[in-house]
């Protein structure tokens, strides 16, 4: 099964060619992906793209010799967890962590990434294969908190478009921000007593839909989702003045954020309205 998955990938011949001649390139058929380390400058590019910083918890899925986790812990002060099926890699990673003096910040778990919990990650890194990424995709979308950054070396996630993409020293890297699940009908009331309703469709981070103001059809001219942040621009029919709403998705509700006065700190975020899920949501 693992061997079949590897060989069915369009990228497999490339990866295998790349591995040819490398001492670490023997392919164990129990693995879904062979060991090919990410080069140092690409590791840095991945950590930069995800803006890894103190307070993050980074998981590397298929962690090899531990280099991504160890670099993140050593240079950015974060805690990290590596998961690898191969006991030899886990031994190497633990020895490397000891040598680099970050044993207290990192953990290496010998296990299969398909049945190991990584839901607490704030950043996930991976250098796997296209079909392995795709098999992981439903768990990434379902189990990770909205806003979690996922960075992949070399391989994308098919129709889930990356939020960022870059080329570093000849390698592509991709980042996705796990989107909140905002599809469905919502309603809220603003301070002036206006009642807003929206029905949102969602495909990954792409959102579109319909809107109503006080029961009358309006235009949803813009809907943007990045992690747990949703921005909606609604223009009532016959009005030339669009209203922009910014909300944070939180545990099944949308917390509407008041526009910030200039110079106000990010922590001073004020909730101006709360949208709840509405039944049916036919506007009216
Ligand atoms: C291409 S290497 C990447 C290593 C490291 N992440 C890096 O970028 O340097 C892929 C790693 O995934 C591991 N691996 C393959 N299948 C796995 C599985 N099902 N569960 C956990 N690890 C796996 C391999 O042992 C290998 O170390």
Q: What is the reported pLDDT for 19?
A: 35
Identify the H or E element spanning 7: helix 2-8
Among candidate residues 137, 144, 143, 153, the one with its CA nearest the CA of residue 36: 153
Model confidence at 269: pLDDT above 70: no
Q: Where are the alpha helices (DSSP H) in 77-192?
A: 87-99, 130-143
Dihedral in degrees, nearest 10, Cα atoms 137, 150, 23, 98: -130
Residue 238: the pLDDT is 81
Yes or no: say if 11 and 19 are a contact pair by the CB < 8 Å rule.
Answer: no
Q: How many CB atoms lie within 10 A of CB 57?
A: 16
Give the pocket of ligand 1 (CB within 6 Å). Answer: 31-33, 35-38, 60, 62-64, 67-68, 83-86, 89, 112-114, 127, 153
* DSSP 8-state code for residue 38: P
Are 71 and 43 spatial neighbours (Cβ–Cβ below 8 Å)?
A: yes
The architecture (CATH level 2) of 184-277 comes to: Beta Barrel (2.40)
Residue 17 clears pLDDT 80, i.e. is over it: no
The pLDDT tens digits for 58-95 are 999 999 999 999 999 999 999 999 999 999 999 999 99
Of 113-117, 240-244, 264-268, the least confident: 264-268
Name the residue at shortest CA distance from atom 26 of ligand 1.
35
Q: Which atom of ligand 1 is nearest to the CA of 125?
A: 6
The three-point CA angle 276-243-245 to 5° equals 40
Contact assessment for residue 218 and residue 283, using Cβ atoms and an 8 Å cutoff:
no
Amino acid 282: pLDDT? 53
Determine the distance separating the centroid of ligand 1 and the alpha carbon of 77, expressed in angstroms: 23
Topology of the domain comprising 2-177? Rossmann fold (3.40.50)
pLDDT value at position 268? 56
Quick check: pTM over 0.95?
A: no
Structural domain boundaries of the chain? 2-177, 184-277
* pLDDT at residue 262, rounded to an integer: 54
Span 209-231, pLDDT tens digits: 999 999 999 999 999 999 999 99
63 DSSP 8-state letter: -
Q: Could you report how far apart the first and last alpha carbons of the chain are, in Å?
A: 53
Burial of 231-248, coded b for 16+ CB within 10 Å and e otherwise, reads ebebbbeeeeeebebbbb
Enumerate the β-bridge partners of residue 245: 232
């Amino acid at each position: 099964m693992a061997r079949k998955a590897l060989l069915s990938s369009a990228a497999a011949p490339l990866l295998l060619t790349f591995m040819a001649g490398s001492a670490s390139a023997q392919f164990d058929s129990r693995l879904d992906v062979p060991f090919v380390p990410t080069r140092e400058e690409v590791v840095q590019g991945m950590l930069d793209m995800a803006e890894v910083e103190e307070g993050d918890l980074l998981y590397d899925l298929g962690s090899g010799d531990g280099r991504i986790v160890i670099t993140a812990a050593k240079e950015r002060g974060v805690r990290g967890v590596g998961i690898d099926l191969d006991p030899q890699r886990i031994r190497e990673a633990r020895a490397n962590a000891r040598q680099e003096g970050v044993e207290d910040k990192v953990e290496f778990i010998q296990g299969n990434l398909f049945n190991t919990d990584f839901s607490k990650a704030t950043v996930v890194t991976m250098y796997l294969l296209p079909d392995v990424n795709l098999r992981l995709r439903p768990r990434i979308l379902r189990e990770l908190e909205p806003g979690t950054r996922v960075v992949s070396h070399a391989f994308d996630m098919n129709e889930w478009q990356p939020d960022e993409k870059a080329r570093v020293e000849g390698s592509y890297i991709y980042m996705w921000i796990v989107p909140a699940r905002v599809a469905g009908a919502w309603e809220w009331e603003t301070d002036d007593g206006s009642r807003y309703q929206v029905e949102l469709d969602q495909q990954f981070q792409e959102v579109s839909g319909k809107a109503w103001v006080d029961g009358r059809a309006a235009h949803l001219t813009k809907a943007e989702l990045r992690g747990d942040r949703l921005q909606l621009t609604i223009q009532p029919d016959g009005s030339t003045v669009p209203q922009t709403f910014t909300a944070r998705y939180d545990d099944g509700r949308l917390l509407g954020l008041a526009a910030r006065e200039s110079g106000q700190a990010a922590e001073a975020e004020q909730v101006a309205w709360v949208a709840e899920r509405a039944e049916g949501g036919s506007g009216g």
